[in-house]
Structure 1
Amino acid sequence: EESPRGEPSETPPYIDDDTDQRVEGEEGNLIGLHCIAGGIPTPTVSWKRNGETLSPISGSKYRISQNGTLEIILLRREDQGTYTCEASNGVQPSATRDYELIVREPLRYSLNTRDQHIKAGANLTLTCNLLNQDTNEPIDVMFTWQKNDVPLAPIEGRIVPQGNQLVIANADEEDSGNYTCLFDYNGREG
């Protein structure tokens, strides 16, 4: 059906496919899944998870904003999964789009030493840890080391990276500098 100006008076709803369908968030944070819908008349957006409609009642962990974004408050591991956005306006067919939510564990990163002063000839061990922020459990990850922002080359028997530790044996003045441990964990670097 067309309006007097030749424009359609009704069109089925559609969902903009420019938004990411794979969304990652860190446990404990707020996250938004964006569902931008259009059509004539303006469609109403609803969200489902595992086939069940999510209702943003007061005090709920879910909010649906005016623009159709689903906000999940205080993200938890059990929130991970598939969410479906549905746009409907009374004109068939309605439009749906699935989003995959990945919940990452919160990380805390620590290096056991700040300014260390040791005597020449002494041994020094630097330890770097990556911990789950909630449980304080160490996370097994591969570390690399840098000195003054340059990748550190091991020197057999003297400068030895061992997992999350860097051992400097028989330290001397040329070992002075800023040491950094780096990691790559599930695409997150530090």
Structure 2
Amino acid sequence: FNETPVSWCILKPLISCLLVGAEHAVDCVATGLPDPEVFWSLPDGTLINNGLQSDDSGIRNRRYIIFGNGTLLLQQMGKKDEGDYTCYAKNKLGKDERKVSVKVGPNAPKIKLKSQFLMRVKFGESATLSCQATGEPIPRITWISPRSDVIPMSSERFQIMDDGTLVVKKVRLADEGKYTCVARNSAGDDVKNMKLEVEPEEPFINGMKGKSTGKVWGVSYQAVLLDCRAEGKPEPRVWWVTPYVHQNGSLEIRGVRKTDEGRYVCLAKNHLGEASLLVQLDVASLAEKPSFAFPNIEILAIKQDGGELTLECPARGKPNPEFAWVLPNGTMLIPGTRFHRFTHHLGNGTLRISQPVATDKGVYRCLAKNVAGQAEKLDIQHSRAFSQY
């Protein structure tokens, strides 16, 4: 037989466009006498032949395979694998090469775990709706609410995490329904629907189960609202013994008078149970915003003598104001509550600190509030005495 140099029979295609993660065979058929040896060069310059059929990184094991006829099999392709792949053929009479340009195109989104359709949660708990999607470019996740509104990335009610998960905070009955996740990129989109349900729950009023009480002040000839936010599943029936009932269970009394004073009871009931709210309504003939007879800023030194430090809040108003203290760390104490060494006594707005220490320094805020408004007094405690201006 006559010896002949290398010649190319088939090399197709010269440009290959692949999807992310795809498998693709690139032909390289060369002829000659004697039969030419065929090997490939990757875009980074690595040589692949029949004796070395895969990269040695240990991460992409056997992703490149050369068959006996010179065909190169590309597996699990990604954007980083784009570039020119060069086929070389040589025998003792010569050598030749051909290049194939490989481009990795966009890959349409694909959402995982689409079989997860129903999510049940208890009242007041957070619901986590999963929507993890793959694709190239990385898909953008959008959530649609049961009322067909686009859900913002972060709000008081919702939070969309980096992986596409939707968190519905403090679930209420109004949050029930079908939530739709849309994963979209330049190659297309994918959709996942999830239904959110609230587990059956006995009624509760203003966040309280069973029997609860409250007190409301009104001003003569003005409107007063007795709040009765009843929730539960099934949605409870709500009623008062008087008219002007709002849809949310609140009771509005217009042009309230002294004769309207008394106890009002709100009832909420479903087949799982009932809840009640007893509201004591007092009516003032004239309202006066709380105020202080003395300067509302006081600077005192902390005496570390093992005794007790008393902070006064001498506010006056009509009707008598209700008090709350805010500690330097932001903790709020309502009357009759205690936090470690801090006690807010009932009735007069007094705050007592037992066995004060230097770390108790800071700004203590007393809030005095009634139906006419709110006033604030600041007590600034220092670990040593300062002059007061």
Q: TM range, normalised to the smaller chain?
A: 0.5 to 0.7
2: CA distance between counterparts of 1:77 and 1:140?
A: 16
Q: Which has the higher contact order (CA 8 A, sep 6+)?
A: 1
- Deviation at 1:18? 5.0
Output one character per residue of 1:126-168: Cα deviation in whole Å (capped at 9) or x when no partner: xxxxxx6998857459xxxxxxxxxxxxxxxxxxxxxxxxxxx
Is the aligned partner of 1:29 residue 2:129? no
TM (norm. structure 2) is: 0.27
After superposition, the CA RMSD in angstroms is: 3.0
CA distances 1:27-62 after superposition (whole Å, capped 9, x unpaired): 11001000111101111111001322011344x210
Q: Distance in 2 between matches of 1:81 and 1:18?
A: 17
Alignment CA distance shift 1:138-1:51 (3 Å): closer
Residue 63 (structure 1) aligned with residue 63 (structure 2): no
Within-5 A mapping of 1:118-133: none
Question: Distance between the aligned counterparts of 1:139 and 1:7, measured in 2?
Answer: 64
One-letter code of the match for 1:104?
E
Q: Does 1:40 align with 2:123?
A: no
Which residue is equivalent to 2:198? 103
* Number of residue pairs aligned between Structure 1 and Structure 2: 116
**Using the alignment, how far apart are the partners of 2:167 and 2:113 within structure 1?**
19
Q: CA deviation at 1:9?
A: 3.4
In structure 2, relative to structure 1, the CA distance for the partners of 1:29 and 1:140 (3 Å cut) is closer
Q: In structure 2, do the counterparts of structure 1 residues 105 and 21 end up closer, same or farther at CA, with 3 Å as the change threshold?
A: same
Amino acid at match of 1:96: V
| Pairing 1:142-157 to 2, within 5 Å after superposition | none
Report if aligned partners of 2:202, 2:270 keep a CA contact under 8 Å in 1. no
CA deviations 1:76-125 (Å, max 9, x no partner) are 00100000000012212x111111111113469xxxxxxxxxxxxxxxxx
1:187 equivalent in structure 2: none
Counterpart of 2:149, as a letter, is: E
Instruction: Measure the CA separation in 2 of the matches of 1:140 and 1:104.
Output: 12
Partner of 1:167: none
Unmatched segments (≥5 aa) in structure 1: 109-131, 142-190
Q: Which amino acid aligns with 2:150?
A: T
Indicate the structure with greater strand content: 2
User: Letter of the aligned partner of 1:68 in structure 2?
Assistant: G
In the alignment, the residues of structure 2 paired with residue 84 and residue 18 of structure 1 have an alpha-carbon distance, to the nearest angstrom, of: 11
Identity of aligned residues (%): 22
Shift of 1:8: 3.5
Aligned partner of 2:151 in structure 1 is: 54
Q: 1:20 aligns with which of 103, 116, 121?
A: 116
Residues 11-34 of structure 1 show CA distances to partners (whole Å, capped at 9, x for unaligned) of 011111355111111111001000
- Secondary structure at the counterpart of residue 8 of structure 1: strand
Question: Which residue matches 2:7?
Answer: none
| Deviation larger for 66-75 or 48-57 | 48-57
For 2:133 and 2:196, locate their aligned partners in 1 and report how far apart those are by CA, in whole Å.
20
What does residue 186 of structure 2 align with? 90
Asked if structure 1 preserves the Cα contact closer than 8 Å seen for 2:201 and 2:272, the reply is: no
Q: Is the 8 A contact 1:19 1:35 kept in 2?
A: no
Whether the 8 Å CA contact 2:179–2:195 is kept in 1: the answer is yes
1:53 aligns to what SS in structure 2? coil
Alpha-carbon separation, structure 2, partners of 1:38 and 1:84: 17
**Matches of 2:139 and 2:153 in 1, distance apart?**
18
Question: 1-side partners of 2:119 and 2:103: how far apart?
Answer: 36
Q: Where does structure 2 lack aligned partners over 5 or more consecutive residues? A: 1-16, 19-81, 86-101, 204-231, 237-266, 274-389
1:71 is paired with a residue of what secondary structure?
strand
Asked whether the 8 Å contact 1:47–1:53 carries over to 2, the reply is: yes
